[in-house]
Chain A
Amino acid sequence: MIRTDSELILEITDLHACVENQPILKGVNLTVRAGEIHAVMGRNGSGKSTLSKVIAGHPAYNVTAGKIQFQGQDLLAMEPEERARCGVFLGFQYPVEIPGVSNLEFLRVATNSRREKLGQAELDTFEFEDLVRERLNVVQMDPAFLERSVNEGFSGGEKKRNEILQMALLQPVFSILDETDSGLDIDALRIVAAGVSQLATPTSATLLITHYQRLLNEITPDFVHVMDSGKILRTGGKDLALELERAGYDWINSTNKDQEDN
């Protein structure tokens, strides 16, 4: 999957960001090319969820320095909805419930806004139903969830499936999956992971944000990054995740310290 000559999708340079004047990201650098799967690991509070929110454009996160280039565009200058239309997708750790808004209608509006950007024809309700029913298979989701309000009363696992369904419909260029494995039992995890693997293409890229190794047993990353205190401390291959699992996050801190001392 790794080819140095493949298209540059995302390039983050010296990114600093804060929430309510509290600095969280303190100089993140990351390069993602087409066809790659990256995993960002780190303990709670290391800044990995913040990184995902900043890329997607959450208004509560303030970028104080650095830049993000997405397929050659200045991502930080774009509204969140524009980022989504251009193919940035964030699968949320805790998808919110939106009472009263039909899930099917929401999915249709979202899909059409992406299709418009891609120069594809708008789908009417009938055409969209055909598409969505086909894509439901990716996550083995019950069609009954289409008739409900967005995420309302969904279990944790159903919410995550609904996220991956959105990914399947929006056909993003760059997907961030923020702790998609949290709250899933092993069967649901396998289904979700299989869905993500199925959606990976040579022209798109994926960033998995996770706490644990177990998701990476299902989806093999090309790169593993370890975050701590708002920076990427270490980058390696899939073995780095295994090493972390074995030795714990303190191991990174101590070895990193060694490196700095040397």
Chain B
Amino acid sequence: MESQNSVGEIVSKPYKYGFVTDIETEKISKGINEDVIRLISSKKQEPAFLLDFRLKAYKQWQQMQEPDWAELGYPKIDYQNIIYYAAPKQKDKKSSLDEVDPKLLETFDKLGIPLNEQKRLSNVAVDAVFDSVSIATTYKEKLAEHGVIFCSISEAIIDYPELIEKYLGTVVPINDNFFAALNSAVFSDGSFVFIPKGVDCPMELSSYFRINSGDIGQFERTLIIAEDNSSVSYLEGCTAPMFDTNTLHAAVVELVALDQASIKYSTVQNWYAGNEEGVGGIYNFVTKRGHCRGKQSKISWSQVETGSAITWKYPSCILQGYESIGEFYSVALTNNYQKADTGTKMIHVGPKTRSTIVSKGISAGHSSNSYRGLVQMGPKASGARNYSQCDSMLIGDNAGANTYPYIRSQQPQANIEHEASTCRISEDQLFYLQSRGINFEEAISMMVSGFCRDVFNQLPMEFAAEADKLLALKLEGSVG
């Protein structure tokens, strides 16, 4: 009765990042071929090894099939109808922020990511990526004092080619999968982080990805290297304008942790998800993988996935080093007609490796939300342990949730535990909270944050509260 009317009124709060920045953009023509790849490489003045890398990847990609095993189902993507490089027109080399187009600074301001000195987030260094290029990285000098390199990957390719050549493509090989191969061929920008031996990075590092043009694909590439006894916490955020066409986003993230190094990688993904009828939105096909190479190294993924029309994403850990640790904490929320197929792979190679998986899927509206995860215990992984917990929450009667846990063990001494549950927010639970004076929205948000608490506890402080709010906003009006 009354409460249902009020639900109707608040259905679909507008996506607040859906604006388009009116800025002159340099775009290359649509389509992909060897010439396009050479053009991208020459625009970025890349060394020869990188062009080779791209061309090899392109050849591999041409032989590969787009995967169709995920619970997604989307219209065929025409890869010749996508622009592979688009950059806001501005001076090539930006020696300071003063030379960055004020419209771009304004855009990031509006997104809540101020880049100029006075308003910067304290203690968070930001690399801001707009369409295909990085436009600014804050606190570079301060980080350099500690020996930490934080810059766009394009700059790193020019300034630190030996590090790029040594590590790029070593965690996610160019032929790893269809989307990773495509990314390897055409990636335009992204972030690079290098933490030298014995350094605990003094600030949170963060990249913010913004798609502005409607017809481009964004292919960013991130590489993070943590040397022996170092540590870093990195956060990635992303938004896009509202277009009624679908935009392709195919990123690759590679993490390398050496002896006793620790990398914490958090994502708050809020790409445009399409409208209530499922028109438009980002197709998000991402390959994220971390390699615990050193003994007692640790890689921890935490993600809050709320956006995108399609999400295909499995942040994974290869646990090679003795006693290395992999973690995956995920909240994936789908509403309206969103589809998400997400999870992780924990590949235990070394002895006494440990992994923890906590996945919380929330499906509302007509959406579908699948967890897909692999736990693999190799023959040398004696004494390895995994604990997985996959919980699904359904809101309303039209949403779907699936769990696909894959377990492969070649090691009888390994210990694998898996727990799964499904629950539904019931009218009676909502009424119970309401009958104690708690309003409808707050009641849902209390239940959802309660459900996600284990994961939010893993996010950096500043972002945990944000993630909570983001979920509440996304869910407004989803129950009725």
The reply to whether chain A is a binding partner of chain B is yes
Contact A81 B440 (CB under 8 A): yes
Shortest C-beta distance, B421 to chain A (Å), equals 9
A81 contacts B432, C-beta separation under 8 Å:
no
Among candidates A84, A92, A102, residue contacting B437 with C-beta atoms closer than 8 Å: A84
Complex Cα–Cα for A261 and B2 (A): 42
A85 within 8 A of B: yes
B437 contacts A81, CB within 8 Å?
A: yes
Q: Does B450 contact A (CB under 8 A)?
A: yes
Tally the A-B contacts, defined by beta carbons under 8 Å.
89
Say if the beta carbon of A28 comes within 8 Å of chain B. Answer: no
Q: Does B427 contact A (CB under 8 A)?
A: yes
A 82-101 binary contact with B (CB < 8 Å = 1; else 0): 01110001101001101111
| Contacts of A54-101 to chain B: CB distance below 8 A | 56-60, 62-63, 77-81, 83-85, 89-90, 92, 95-96, 98-101
Q: What are the residues of chain B within 8 A of A56 when measuring CB–CB?
A: 431, 435
Q: Which B residues, 17 to 68, have Cβ-Cβ distances below 8 Å to chain A?
A: none
Contact check, B434 vs A98: say whether CB atoms are below 8 A apart: no
A-chain residues with CB within 8 Å of residue B163 when the two chains form the complex: none
Question: Knowing A58-B431, A95-B432, A100-B451 touch, does A81 contact B438 (C-beta < 8 A)?
Answer: yes
Given A59-B1, A96-B428, A149-B450: A90 in contact with B435 (beta carbons within 8 A): yes
Among A80, A83, A84, A149, chain B packs the most CB atoms within 10 A around the CB of A80
Contacts of A84 in B (CB 8 A): 434-437
Bound together, the chains give a CA A191 to CA B377 distance in angstroms of: 55
Task: Indicate if B121 sits at the interface (CB-CB under 8 A).
Answer: no
- Answer yes or no: A113 CB below 8 A from chain B CBs: yes
Q: What are the residues of chain A within 8 A of B453 when measuring CB–CB?
A: 100
The answer to whether B437 touches A114 (Cβ under 8 A) is: yes
Complex alpha-carbon distance, A81 and B4, angstroms = 14
Q: Are the C-beta atoms of A80 and B435 separated by less than 8 Å?
A: yes
A154 adjacent to chain B (CB < 8 Å): no
CA A49 – CA B429 in complex, angstroms?
17
Q: Could you tell me if B431 and A80 are in contact, using CB atoms closer than 8 angstroms?
A: yes
Structural contact, A99 and B450, CB atoms closer than 8 A:
yes
CA A92 to CA B3, docked complex, whole Å: 20
A81–B439 CA distance with the chains assembled, in angstroms = 6
Known: A60-B427, A79-B6, A96-B426. A101 touches B435 (CB 8 A): no
Whole-angstrom CA separation of A98 from B431 in the bound complex: 11
Q: How large, as a class, is the contact surface on chain A?
A: 35 or more
Contacts of B2 in A (CB 8 A): 57, 59, 77-79
Give the distance in Å from the alpha carbon of A150 to the alpha carbon of B446 in the complex.
Answer: 11
Contact residues in B for A78 (Cβ distance below 8 Å): 2
On chain B, which size bracket covers the interface?
Answer: 20 to 34
> CB of A106 within 8 A of chain B?
yes
Cα distance, A179 to B213, chains bound together (Å):
62
Chain B residues with CB under 8 A of A77: 2
The answer, yes or no, to whether B157 is at the interface (CB within 8 Å) is no
Indicate with 1 or 0, residue by residue over B307-333, a CB within 8 angstroms of chain A CB atoms. Answer: 000000000000000000000000000
The digit string for B432-474, where 1 denotes a CB below 8 A from any CB of A, is 1111111110100011011101000000000000000000000
**A96 in contact with B4 given A81-B437, A110-B438 (CB within 8 Å):** no
Nearest-Cβ distance from residue B9 to partner chain A, whole angstroms: 12
A50 at the interface (CB under 8 A from B): no
Contact residues in B for A170 (Cβ distance below 8 Å): 436-437
CA A90 to CA B3, docked complex, whole Å: 18
> Which residue of B3, B6, B442, B451 is within 8 Å of A99 (Cβ)?
B451
Q: Whole-angstrom distance between the alpha carbons of A80 and B429 in the complex? A: 13
Instruction: Determine if A100 and B447 form an interchain contact, defined as CB atoms under 8 angstroms apart.
Output: yes
* B158 at interface by CB-CB < 8 Å: no
A204 touches B (CB below 8 Å):
no
- For the complex, is A109 an interface residue (Cβ under 8 Å from B)? yes
- What residue in chain B is nearest A80 (Cβ atoms)? B434
Tell me the B63-116 residues at the A interface (CB within 8 Å).
none
Nearest CB on B from A149, distance (A) = 7
Contacting pair B451 A98 (CB below 8 A): no
A residues in contact with B3, CB < 8 Å: 59, 79-80
B327 to chain A, nearest CB (A): 20
A–B complex contacts, Cβ < 8 Å, 19 sampled: A57-B435, A59-B1, A79-B6, A79-B439, A79-B440, A81-B438, A84-B434, A84-B435, A84-B437, A90-B435, A96-B429, A99-B423, A101-B446, A109-B438, A113-B438, A113-B439, A149-B450, A150-B432, A170-B436
* A binding-site residues for B, Cβ under 8 Å: 56-60, 62-63, 77-81, 83-85, 89-90, 92, 95-96, 98-102, 105-106, 109-110, 113-114, 117, 149-150, 166, 170
6 pairs of A and B residues whose beta carbons are closest in the complex? A100-B450, A113-B437, A110-B436, A84-B437, A101-B450, A80-B434
Other than the given A84-B434, A110-B438, 15 more pairs (CB < 8 A) read: A57-B435, A63-B1, A77-B2, A79-B2, A79-B6, A79-B434, A81-B435, A81-B437, A96-B429, A99-B451, A106-B446, A113-B438, A114-B437, A117-B437, A170-B436
